[in-house]
Amino acid sequence: MTEPVLSVRDLRVEFATRRGVLKAIDGVSFDVAKGEILGVVGESGAGKSVTGAAVIGLIDPPGRIAGGEIRLAGQRIDNLAPEAMRRVRGKRIGMIFQDPLTSLNPLYRVGHQLVETIRTHTDLSPRAARTRAVDLLAEVGISAPERRIDGYPHEFSGGMRQRAVIALALAAEPELIIADEPTTALDVSVQAGIIALLKRLGREHGTAVMLITHDMGVIAEAADRVAVMYSGRIAEIGPVHGLVQAPLHPYAVGLMGAIPTLVQETDRLTQIPGAMPRLTAIPKGCAFHPRCPRAFARCHVERPEQIPVNGHRVACHLYDAQGSVAA
């Protein structure tokens, strides 16, 4: 079996506060294969972005990785020294942030930022690095890259800025890209272009992508597999088509039921009552049980572990170890 590009095992992330230690990520495990797009979805506060930040080594004090392992192509990276992790970040792992203006310095031309990134992680000369930068802008779909490379971020549209950020993430040809809400606030046509670009990266370059989003429509279109997160844990993980068409965990069922469909008319969409619990008040047992329409006594006292069911892994007491629905 081919070794995954990214392997996360029992990851735990904590934040020390005056009110005690808060567990933001509590036992998360998943793999991302070469050329695969893993979608990570859930409501705000589920732990999606914190998981991505932990993988790329951007958890700053008072936060810390409290346990587990993160391996990149077999090499453990969660315990690297800061300088060693800095060499991994950008070269072997690229990051696409939600707001491109947080990634692009408004005082410098886009080309300057691209060339600087390329020269930091490669041995290319300034001239060769500029040629590479122009090629990257063309690859991500920016027209007239020879002219656009000398523009400032404010001279780019929102979609163009996001494409420039993707070009930055690709500058050193990384093995893994973490895309944190890369299509938020973009119109539908631009979203489609970004999704197509991410899929092409996997197909042509073998780049593994961890796609973090709250948008199940983006997940359905872009991802190969999906991890549904709730309160710092993975509630369900499995192939995208199976999870979209027949989700198993009650939370995943609620997320899919809240999406309008063009297939049939409906008077009312599914609503998940309540809200994501605060880190200071995570319920005992299954964290979703206060909002779950199928919760029973065991859910209130015992935290479920992931169970293999029909090619998925589901953290729910409704399913036994053989994958049949519990009575």
Give residue 198's pLDDT.
85
d(CA 211, CA 55): 13
Ordered by where they begin, the domains of the chain are 6-92+174-315 (3.40.50.300), 93-173 (no CATH)
What pLDDT does residue 324 have? 46
For the chain, the helix, strand and coil percentages under 3-state DSSP, each to the nearest 5: 35, 25, 40
Distance CA 228, CA 314 (A): 10
Report the pLDDT value the prediction gives residue 64, as an integer from 0 to 100: 95
| Beta bridge partner(s), residue 63 | 15
Taking the CA atoms of 293, 297, 303 and 305 in sequence, report the sign of the dihedral they define. Answer: negative
Q: Which residues in 6-145 belong to E strands, given as ranges?
A: 6-17, 20-32, 37-41, 63-72, 75-76, 93-96
Each of the 327 residues of the chain gets a pLDDT tens digit; together they read 578 999 999 999 999 998 889 999 999 999 999 999 999 999 999 999 999 999 999 999 999 999 999 999 999 999 999 999 998 998 999 998 877 777 899 999 999 999 999 999 889 999 999 999 999 999 888 999 999 999 999 999 888 898 899 899 888 889 999 999 887 767 787 778 888 888 888 888 889 999 999 888 888 889 999 999 999 999 999 999 999 999 999 999 998 888 777 666 777 777 889 999 999 999 999 999 999 999 999 999 999 999 999 999 999 999 964 444 554
**What pLDDT score does 327 carry?**
43
The confidence score (pLDDT) of residue 325 equals 52
Read off φ and ψ for residue 202, nearest 5 degrees. Answer: -65, -40
What Rg do the C-alpha atoms of the chain give, in angstroms?
Answer: 21
Instruction: Identify any residues that bridge with 21 across adjacent strands, giving them in sequence order.
Output: 16
CA 72 to chain centre: 16
Looking only at Cα atoms, what is the longest distance across the chain?
68
pTM for this entry:
0.90
Phi, psi (degrees; rounded to nearest 5) at 316:
-155, 135
pLDDT of residue 295: 93
pLDDT of residue 270: 77
Are 312 and 246 in contact by the 8 Å Cβ rule? The answer is no
